[in-house]
Amino acid sequence: MATTKTDPKLTLGASGAKKSKFYEGLTREQLIQAYRVMYTSRRIDDREILLKRQQKIFFQMSGAGHEAIGAAAGLALRAGYDWFYPYYRDRALCLALGVTPYNMFLQGVGAADDPSSGGRQMPSHWSYPALHIVTQSSPTGSQILQAVGCAEGGRYFARRPKAADVPNSPPFAKGAKDVAPASGTPRASLDYRQFKNVSFQNDEVTYVSLGDGTSSEGEFWEAMNAAALEKLPVIFCVEDNGYAISVPVEAQTAGGSISRLVSGFPNFHFEEVDGTDPVASYGAFQRAAKHCRAGVGPAFIHAHVIRPYSHSLSDDERLYRPDTERERDAQRDPVTRTQMFLLREGILDDKGINQLEKEVESELQAAVDRALEALPAPPESVTKFIYSPNIDPTSSAFDTQPANGEATPDGKKPASKTMADLITATLRDEMKRDERIVIFGEDVADASREEYLKRKLVKGKGGVFKLTFGLQNEFGSDRVFNSPLAEAAIVGRGTGMATRGLKPVVEIQFFDYIWPAMMQLRDELPTIRWRSNNGFSAPCVIRVAIGGYLTGGAIYHSQCGESIFTHIPGLRVVFPSNSLDAAGLLRTAIRCDDPVLFLEHKRLYRESFGRAAYPGPDYMIPFGKAKIAQPGSDLTVITYGAVVPRALQAAQKLDREQGVKVEVIDLRSLNPFDWETIAASVAKTNRALVAYEDTLSWGYGAEIAARIADQLFDQLDAPVRRVAAKDVFVAYQPILEDAILPQPNDLYLAMKELAAY
Ligand SMILES: Cc1ncc(C[n+]2csc(CCOP(=O)(O)OP(=O)(O)O)c2C)c(N)n1
Ligand SMILES: [Mg+2]
């Protein structure tokens, strides 16, 4: 683990002629180019600040003080070859990689033609697919785990190049952008791979940057750990300007130095550098990239920079930084120091500097003038690209029949298979069919210590519920592996891999522990396509064991909470109640082009209810299509998951006792949900009961009930009722659990009352 520390005294200032002539390998032309990038970056900030004051743009984040490290990274790494997860201060890096000032101003005005987002994201939220600059968001730090996943994706394809093959003819030529077909009309297809333009290099590097404050985020540490464990080619660049808004580094980072804190991570190459010095910064990046390209591990660059323009235009740093401190920083301004360096080294004279600056000014003037004329996207376009424009998982293309009577994958006679059996069978079939599928999560592997399996010393675990049992043995440890116990990392890494064209099918062991991944699940995964205006997508599948009725599951092994996720635009949510639906919906989840939260009820895994024969390797169910679990004419019950068998039990009792015919609708998929089936049923029965296992208030049923009241009011002969859990967490004692969760008798009483209303 090499460590290089650059003397904080600037190499720019070193006057020794012999030493300075080498410039860490940079040519004079590259040094001039670096200055042009840095100067352009600073002047774009100045122009944007002016435009913001004139209310011609609506937000501004500056890269001032961070220009040298960015220009250096741009010179050391390769656009369209390496991959980039920059943060908002990386304007100079983006310019060095090939982003134009015009493109930056287009984002400022929120133009339809803004290539990063089409007016959907603030300025400095970079996204340029052709350059491999991956869409970034505003939460500080949520890009870091994705960068790790991106590097993993690249390495996976390099090791298994056949995985990049596309099954049918791709809709675009190799090298084209991953965009919708020109018509923009939804097109049914059975395979996401047709719409992923995979590219990879054997020695590619993934760059990710963050501020000093952001290094306090847990996701940063999860990412460092994962990168070190897997020896991934990621360059972490901490741009340390000494402040996170108003919080100084000594109040943020124990001991005041992030370098010191991370120095124990194995397999890393470490650099601590004056990030206001483009030459020293370039040297640091060259060494870091060399380490990463050799495949021996990640690199960490701690770049000391300055922040001359306050945090943003909404911040006035004079409120917390005295003039003396700000003046001290100003002495290290990278733009003026680099200019002085070029003059001193005789690389440019006064005339040359003036000429360069004049050229930049006139380029910026022209870019601003053009950008100010650009039009915004039409308001009706706002819902475009929430989901894939290419594959519609609700379409009939995903409606196939089960191949009943077929032999099971293990060659035995058709048998009644549990939901657990058919989920495993579906995963196995899809892994055989698609080499891009990787499975990881906590305990999902058979055994991380492969030699135990090879020597047949152990049988293997395959998940705490055993649903992935045997898959590592069958498909290899690079396709099925245990992750560290870190849920944000599971989803964040999966998101990065999916961005590269892999199909991660990750597992969150218990729904109760999904919350560390919430930032990734709310602000990242489902937003990637929309916020990049279809520039990027991340169709990752997240399997989650959910639910109660476990007699002893208690608070932390019984939770539901699906409505928190159905509330997220861009995320498909499915919740099967039986074996066949689980198989069909999981296959649709894997083959479609959207992120999917696949909820598996633990109580249903091995229930005798809803078992079915193996339906064959191509059985699919479209999303958004409910199933009539039992037809009826007197009352509609809308439900899903583990409440389905309970509702059926109650309905059958009511029929036996009073001849009331209850229609039970199993929604199966919650986002999208099947409004047509609900509406048709309520039009027939004129009575509706919504039943769900989650807590009553603000739950999933609230939306359904509101929709019925709103749109079917004239058809109703009774109020819309709900049956759900009490508004409390699930208790451990089975008697208490029974009292909290909706039971068949609660459903029976509500049905009876509503039928008699
Ligand atoms: C997760 C999250 N928390 C809070 C914020 C609000 N915020 C934006 S920038 C910032 C400070 C970031 O400081 P640092 O990481 O040092 O980067 P710098 O801006 O100094 O370059 C904060 C708190 C945010 N965007 N995301
Ligand atoms: Mg900072």
pLDDT tens digits along 571-600: 999 999 999 999 999 999 999 999 999 999
- From the alpha carbon of 215, which atom of ligand 1 is closest? 15
Written as six digits, the tokens of 72 are 């250096």
Least confident of 51-65, 189-203, 503-517: 189-203
Q: Are 233 and 204 in contact (CB under 8 A)?
A: yes
pLDDT band at 3 (very low <50, low <70, confident <90, very high): low
Does pLDDT of 189 surpass 60? no
Q: How far apart are CA 485 and CA 496, in angstroms?
A: 18
Q: How many angstroms is it from 37 CA to the middle of ligand 2? A: 22
Q: How does pLDDT run across 592-625, given as a tens digit for each residue?
A: 999 999 999 999 999 999 999 999 999 999 999 9
pLDDT of residue 407: 54
Q: How far is the CA of 96 from the centre of ligand 1 (A)?
A: 24
Q: Is 212 in the pocket of ligand 1 (CB under 6 A)?
A: yes
Does 498 or 176 have the greater pLDDT score?
Answer: 498
With bands split at pLDDT 50, 70 and 90, how would you rate the model's confidence at 314? Answer: confident
pLDDT of residue 173: 38
Give mean pLDDT, residues 30-49. Answer: 98
Rounded Cα distance between 410 and 527, Å, is 40
- Is the beta carbon of 243 within 6 A of some atom in ligand 1? yes
For residue 9, pLDDT beyond 50: no
Candidates 140, 236, 317: which one to mutate for ligand 1, based on the most atoms within 8 Å of Cβ?
140
How remote is the CA of residue 211 from the centroid of ligand 1, in Å? 7
Q: Is the CB of 241 inside a 6 Å radius of any atom of ligand 1?
A: yes
In this structure, what are the phi and psi dihedrals at residue 253, rounded to the nearest 5 degrees? -120, 120
Q: What pLDDT score does 14 carry?
A: 46
What pLDDT is attached to residue 16? 41
308 lines ligand 1 (CB under 6 A): no
Q: Candidates 220, 236, 245, 250: which one to mutate for ligand 1, based on the most atoms within 8 Å of Cβ?
A: 245
pLDDT grade, residue 405 (50/70/90)? Answer: low
Centre of ligand 2 from the C-alpha of residue 25, in Å? 29
Mean pLDDT of the chain: 94
Cβ of residue 139 lying under 6 Å from some atom of ligand 1: yes
> Does residue 189 have its Cβ closer than 6 Å to ligand 1?
no
Residue 66 CA, closest ligand 1 atom number? 21
Positive or negative torsion for Cα 130, 303, 250, 229:
positive
User: Does the CB atom of residue 565 touch ligand 1 within 6 A?
Assistant: no
Determine the atom of ligand 1 nearest the C-alpha atom of 214. 15
Where helices occur in 485-543 by DSSP H, the ranges are 487-499, 518-519, 528-531
Encoded amino acid at 2, one letter: A
Grade residue 415 by pLDDT with cuts at 50, 70 and 90.
confident
Neighbour-count burial of 183, counting CB atoms closer than 10 A to its CB (0-12 exposed, 13-18 middle, 19+ buried): exposed
Q: Is the CB of 138 under 6 A from ligand 1?
A: yes
Q: How far is the CA of 3 from the centre of ligand 2 (A)?
A: 23
Buried b (16+ CB within 10 A) or exposed e, 674-690: beebbbebbeebbbbbb
- What confidence tens digit (pLDDT) does each residue in 490-514 have? 999 999 999 999 999 999 999 999 9
Amino acid at 505: V
* Beta carbon of 275 within 6 Å of any ligand 1 atom: no
Over residues 217-245, the mean pLDDT reads 98
Calculate how far, in angstroms, residue 206's C-alpha sits from the geometric centre of ligand 1: 22
Q: Are 147 and 223 in contact (CB under 8 A)?
A: yes
Indicate which ligand has the atom closest to the C-alpha of 314. 1
Nearest CA to ligand 1 atom 13: 244
Q: Is 645 in the pocket of ligand 1 (CB under 6 A)?
A: no
Q: How many CA atoms lie within 13 A of 218 on its CB side?
A: 12
Q: Determine if ligand 1 sits within 6 Å of the CB of residue 624.
A: no
Strand 662-666 and strand 627-630: the pairing is antiparallel
Cα–Cα distance, 383 to 594 (Å, whole number): 15
Residue closest via CA to ligand 1's atom 15 equals 211
Positive or negative, the CA dihedral 749, 750, 755, 757 is positive
DSSP 402-417: --TTPPPTTSPPP--B
Is 253's C-beta closer than 6 angstroms to any atom of ligand 1? no
What distances in angstroms separate CA 445 from CA 74, 397, 645, one per listed residue?
A: 39, 33, 32
Q: What is the mean pLDDT of residues 420-441?
A: 98
Q: Rounded CA gap, 30 and 9, in Å?
A: 22
Of 304, 557, 567, 601, which is the active-site residue? 557
Say if residue 56 is exposed, middle or buried (CB neighbours under 10 Å; 0-12, 13-18, 19+).
middle
Distance CA(682)–CA(717), nearest Å, equals: 10
Ligand nearest to the CA of 245: 1
Question: Does residue 183 register a pLDDT over 90?
Answer: no
Residue 11 pLDDT grade (very low, low, confident, very high; cuts 50, 70, 90): low
Atom of ligand 1 nearest to the CA of 311: 19
Burial class (CB in 10 A: 0-12, 13-18, 19+), 411: exposed
At 404 the pLDDT is: 72
**Atom of ligand 1 at shortest distance to CA of 249?**
16
Phi-psi domain of 455 (left: phi exceeds 0; alpha: psi -120 through 50; beta: other): alpha
> Could you tell me if 249 and 240 are in contact, meaning their C-beta atoms sit under 8 angstroms apart?
yes
What is the average per-residue pLDDT within 232-239?
Answer: 98
* Closest ligand relative to 87 C-alpha: 1
List the residue whose alpha carbon is closest to atom 17 of ligand 1: 211
Res 22: pLDDT: 81
- Angle (CA) 58-63-69 rounded to 5° is 160
686 lines ligand 1 (CB under 6 A): no
Q: Which atom of ligand 1 is nearest to the CA of 252?
A: 16
Q: Is the CB of 247 under 6 A from ligand 1?
A: no
**Cα gap 533→377, rounded to integer Å:** 11
Query: Which residue has its alpha carbon closest to ligand 1 atom 25?
Result: 139
pLDDT on residue 410: 62
- CA of residue 210 to ligand 2 center, whole Å: 8
How many angstroms does the Cα of residue 241 sit away from the middle of ligand 2?
A: 5
Task: Tell me how far apart the alpha carbons of residues 104 and 558 are, in angstroms, rounded to a whole number.
Answer: 48
Q: What percent of the chain has pLDDT over 90?
A: 91
Could you say which ligand is closest to the alpha carbon of residue 311?
Answer: 1
Residue having the nearest C-alpha atom to atom 11 of ligand 1: 244
pLDDT of residue 442: 98
89 CB near ligand 1 (under 6 Å): yes
Cα 700 to ligand 2 centre (Å): 41
Region for residue 315 given its phi and psi (left: phi exceeds 0; alpha: psi -120 to 50; beta: otherwise): beta
And the tokens for 561?
Answer: 């909470």
Lowest mean pLDDT among 292-306, 404-418, 624-638: 404-418
Question: Which residues make Cβ contacts (< 8 Å) with residue 293, sequence separation at least 6?
Answer: 203, 204, 205, 233
**Helices 350-373, 334-344: crossing angle, 10 deg rounding:** 140
Shortest-distance Cα residue to atom 1 of ligand 1? 139
| Global pTM value | 0.94
What mean pLDDT do residues 294-313 have?
95
Segment 255-273, tens digit of pLDDT: 999 999 999 999 999 999 9
Query: Which residue shows structure tokens 């909706």?
Result: 742
Question: What DSSP string describes 176-214?
Answer: --S---TT------S-GGGG------TT--EEEEEETGG
Please tell me the distance between residue 493's alpha carbon and the centre of ligand 2 in angstroms: 25
Q: How many CB atoms lie within 10 A of CB 410?
A: 8
Closest CA to 424 of 573, 259, 531, 582: 582
Residue 567 φ/ψ, nearest 5 degrees:
-80, -5
CA separation for the pair 221, 141 (Å, rounded): 10
DSSP 35-65: HHHHHHHHHHHHHHHHHHHTTSSS-----TT
Q: Is pLDDT at 184 greater than 80 in this prediction?
A: no
**Nearest Cα to Cα of residue 211 among 43, 90, 42, 39:** 90
Q: In angstroms, rounded to a whole number, what is the distance separating the alpha carbons of residues 276 and 330? A: 11
**Active-site residue, 304 included:** no
